[in-house]
Structure 1
Amino acid sequence: MTAAVDSGMCAGRVVIVTGAGRGLGRAHARAYAAEGAKVVVNDLGAALDGSGVSGGPAQDVVEEIRTAGGDAVAHCGDVATPEGASSLVRAALETYGRLDTLVNNAGFLRDRMLVNLDEDDWDAVLRVHLKGHFLPLKHAAAHWRAAAKAGRAPHACVVNTSSGAGLLGSVGQGNYSAAKAGILGLTMVAAAELAAYGVRVNAIAPAARTRMTEQTFADTMAAPQEGAFDAMAPENVSPLVVWLGSTASSGVTGRVFEAEGGRITVMHGWRPGPSADKAARWSPAEAGETALKLLSRAEPPEPVYGAR
Structure 2
Amino acid sequence: MAADMCAGRVVVVTGAGRGLGRAHALAFAAEGAKVVVNDLGVGLDGTPGSDSPARNVVEEIRAAGGEAVAHGGDIATAKGAASLVEAALDTFGRLDTLVNNAGFLRDRMLVNLDEDDWDAVLRVHLKGHFLPLREAAAYWRTESKAGRRPVARIVNTTSGAGLLGSVGQGNYAAAKAGIVGLTLVAAAELARYGVQVNAVAPAARTRMTERAFADLAAAPEDVAPLVVWLGSAASDGVTGRVFEAEAGRITVMEGWRPGPTADKGDRRTPAEAGDTARDLLARAQAPGAVYGAG
TM range (shorter): over 0.9
Q: Aligned residue for 2:292?
A: 306
Instruction: Measure, in 2, the Cα distance between the counterparts of 1:9 and 1:123.
Output: 38
Counting aligned pairs with the same residue, the percent is 77
AA matched with 2:257: R
Q: Assess if the C-alpha contact under 8 Å between 1:43 and 1:55 holds in 2.
A: no
Find the counterpart in structure 2 of residue 103 from structure 1: 99
Name 2:186's counterpart in structure 1: 190
1:278 corresponds to which residue? 264
8 A Cα contact 1:44 1:54, kept in partner: no
Distance 2:106 2:51 in 1: 22
- Distance in 2, matches of 1:147 and 1:137, equals 15
Residue 179 of structure 1 is aligned with which of 161, 175, 180? 175
**1:52 alignment partner, SS class:** coil
Mapped pair 1:159 → 2:155: yes
Aligned-partner SS, 2:144? helix
Amino acid aligned to 2:286: P
**AA in 2 matched with 1:171:** V
Q: Distance in 2 between matches of 1:168 and 1:207?
A: 14
Give the Cα separation in 2 of the matches to 1:216 and 1:295.
32
- TM-align CA RMSD: 0.9
Question: Structure 1 residues 88, 54: CA separation in 2 closer, same or farther (over 3 Å shift)?
Answer: farther
Q: TM-score, normalised by structure 2?
A: 0.99
Classify the secondary structure of the residue corresponding to 2:129. helix
Query: In the TM superposition, what is the alpha-carbon distance from 1:55 to its structure 2 partner?
Result: 5.8
CA distances 1:100-149 after superposition (whole Å, capped 9, x unpaired):
00000000000000000000000000000000000000000000000000
Give, in whole Å, the separation in 2 of the partners of 1:66 and 1:196: 35
| Residue type of the alignment partner of 2:56 | D
Tell me the distance in 2 between the aligned counterparts of 1:13 and 1:53.
Answer: 31
Question: 1:225 is matched with which residue?
Answer: none
Alignment-derived partner of residue 81 in structure 2:
85
Identify which of 263, 272, 283 aligns with 2:249: 263
- Tell whether 2:249 aligns with 1:253: no
> What does residue 135 of structure 1 align with?
131
In 2, the alpha carbon distance for the partners of 1:198 and 1:86 equals: 20
Q: Normalising by the residue count of structure 1, what TM-score does the alignment of the two structures yield?
A: 0.94
SS in 2 for 1:196: helix
2:15 to 19, 35, 41: 19
Q: Distance in 2 between matches of 1:203 and 1:16?
A: 15
Match of 2:46 in 1: 50
1:259, 1:271 → 2: CA distance? Answer: 22
C-alpha distance in 1, partners of 2:112/2:212? 20
Partner AA of 1:129 in structure 2: H
Matched residue of 2:212: which SS?
Answer: helix
Indicate which of 33, 47, 65 corresponds to 2:29: 33
Stretches of structure 1 that go unaligned for 5 or more consecutive residues are 222-230
Matches of 1:142 and 1:53 in 2, distance apart? 32
| 1:227 paired residue number | none
Between the two proteins, the alignment pairs up a number of residues equal to: 294
Match of 2:144 among 145, 148, 171: 148
**C-alpha displacement at 1:97, in angstroms?**
0.3
Deviations 1:78-102 (A, max 9, x none): 0000000000000000000000000
Residue 226 of structure 1 corresponds to none
CA distance in 2 between partners of 1:208 and 1:42 (Å): 20
Letter in 1 for 2:269: S
Runs of 4+ aligned residues of structure 1 deviating over 3 Å after TM superposition are: none
